[in-house]
Structure 1
């Protein structure tokens, strides 16, 4: 049975809501596009469908919702080449065939008409809370930039280039998949959620032979190093999973090249891990490329900036909680207006599509 994978493909960040869904749905034969109002009904259907096909021996990719830990944005059955997707997350931009399934068909419209004003108010409150979360994260990022500046000013960039080149040579060791086009998938291994920062690093990496834990400080080139490794893998025709930073999505936090059985990731707070099995290795960029004594010399400034930026991250989290609370109350309105017999039909419709796809592949 193929191993299940868990990740995020959209996140509330310092750059606003940042969607990375499209590349994860490439190479599929069919996408089931769930439209309509109730995210809870869509998630219930996806979870039931996932368990149904897991019981038959198929692996599932679980795409979690960053704004509500109890919800899913989508699921993918890689062996069956079929995915299911909540359309409220945004648009998937690829050429995969799509079938729409509208959960609003189970709504009693007269019941919703009575709640029209409440529904509008909930949407406005949710949007305001999410915008406030994004602004808090954005302010935190500005402060974090000042923290990075301390280390950037004390870095040896020639040493950084040397470390990168030596590591790339070591990782790829003349590997080549010439003639093959790389399949690149962009994701988040973690996200700021209403329940705090969550990551799925162990799930995504613990079956790999080699795991490289990058240690360092803000601004010591961890993301730059990962971008160079991703580019080298793509040049060699290797498939790459690129995991973006949930705080600043234009930075990278992890690269996985499963064809060569390795990952390399930013193993610092808030996703700090340490070697625990054979094949795990630390790469300490602070030790290798930063002027010795920098931590001690700027201890007061570093402490002050770290405390300040973390306070804005925490503040952003409180706004995510507020958005979640309002979304759950809004969804209860839709749940109360649902015909339960029709919601069961939604699962059967999805399942029929998967069965048809499975029979084609057989």
Structure 2
């Protein structure tokens, strides 16, 4: 499952507001450069430039995409060097763990003309308020969408065949771990998002993240049919047996899982039911319809109209949230222009050189 480029979201717009896995993603690194500064100060452009530099040298990279602007990057990790460069400003605030030893803060605000910004103070404040308003409104609609999913699940949750859920879980564990003897120490977990709710709607890297897996299990079914619960059980079993796992959380509800990958076993488990997107599907994918297998047909048929209405309302809430995130992005672009006009971008070459001059002692170069 090795690829030169890995794309993920380290944070996302969820029912609980902005949820961050930046600490989980960045803590294992040996060296981290944290970029601070306002919108339009060149953070994403610098991250892209650094990514291109190391990509051209053949390094394996992990790109951290921005959930609020799919054209921007929030970070890049150069895996072989255990080196990261990240946007550490709100909402994904990143602070140093060991300043000057592991982490360096680079303040791009040192390169702006404050007088230019003061001249546009009132408009900057207005745009900032607009952005906060649109994000808060989006989060309310995402929360409402999650509540509607719970209402849907409540229609059939009491009737779910729990014995069948356990049977499916046990079968998947048996299929994945032929040998259940412990493989040394406990495995490690990594957490992030495979997808995000963005101005463009739901964007997901689940397909490309799992495309090279020798075996993919696609779990289908409506909310509340234990898809995430089964994936959590599989992940827990893997860790207990000594296998590392990649956990990708649900873009709407970060308490749930959308994707679990066990690299050493070449297997991936994916929630492939709407509104999740899986662009690539393969003929040998294993499909498991949790709703069809665990909900009695009579119960499913009794609530068809109500479920259809709830599905429509869920889509409306997510789409309304997306529109608000898009409005926030539009205002953010306007805000960026004020900072772009105030910046001295000639200093950015010095920052670029400072970052690429770092080399891990065990680097091949």
Q: Is contact 2:207-2:278 (8 Å) kept?
A: no
| Deviation (angstroms), 1:60 | 1.0
Query: Partners in 1 of 2:363 and 2:313 — Cα distance?
Result: 56
| Deviation (angstroms), 1:64 | 0.5
Query: Partners in 1 of 2:177 and 2:265 — Cα distance?
Result: 8
> Which sits farther off after the overlay, 104-113 or 195-204?
104-113
**Other-structure match for 2:85:** 84
Query: Partners in 2 of 1:135 and 1:6 — Cα distance?
Result: 28
| Deviation (angstroms), 1:193 | 0.2
2:84 partner SS: strand
* Corresponding position: 1:347 with 2:348: no
**Other-structure match for 1:38:** 39
| Deviation (angstroms), 1:177 | 5.6
Q: 1:107 to 1:145 in 2, by over 3 A?
A: same
**Other-structure match for 1:139:** 144
| Deviation (angstroms), 1:80 | 1.2
**Other-structure match for 2:50:** 49
Q: 1:176 to 1:260 in 2, by over 3 A?
A: farther
> Which sits farther off after the overlay, 83-92 or 245-254?
83-92
| Deviation (angstroms), 1:2 | 4.6
**Other-structure match for 2:319:** 314
The one of 118, 127, 132 equivalent to 1:127 is 132
1:27 partner SS: coil
**Other-structure match for 1:226:** 231
Query: Partners in 2 of 1:93 and 1:239 — Cα distance?
Result: 26
* Corresponding position: 1:357 with 2:350: no
Any stretches of 5+ residues in structure 2 without a counterpart?
A: none
* Corresponding position: 1:104 with 2:105: no
Q: Is contact 1:176-1:238 (8 Å) kept?
A: no
Q: Is contact 2:193-2:249 (8 Å) kept?
A: yes
Report how many aligned residue pairs link the two structures. Answer: 360
2:42 partner SS: helix
Greater than 6 Å deviation, 4+ residue runs? none
Q: Is contact 2:202-2:277 (8 Å) kept?
A: no
2:159 partner SS: coil
Query: Partners in 2 of 1:234 and 1:358 — Cα distance?
Result: 30
**Other-structure match for 2:340:** 335
2:76 partner SS: strand
Cα-Cα RMSD = 2.0
Give deviations 1:224-269, integer Å, cap 9, x for gaps. 1111111111111211111111111111111001011110010111
Q: Is contact 1:74-1:85 (8 Å) kept?
A: yes
**TM-score with structure 2 length normalisation?**
0.93
Q: Is contact 2:259-2:269 (8 Å) kept?
A: yes
**Other-structure match for 2:19:** 18
Query: Partners in 1 of 2:94 and 2:277 — Cα distance?
Result: 33
Query: Partners in 2 of 1:112 and 1:289 — Cα distance?
Result: 60
Q: 1:359 to 1:164 in 2, by over 3 A?
A: closer
**Other-structure match for 2:185:** 180
Query: Partners in 1 of 2:95 and 2:166 — Cα distance?
Result: 37
**Other-structure match for 1:244:** 249
Query: Partners in 2 of 1:345 and 1:275 — Cα distance?
Result: 41
* Corresponding position: 1:302 with 2:303: no
Q: 1:22 to 1:346 in 2, by over 3 A?
A: same
**Other-structure match for 1:71:** 72
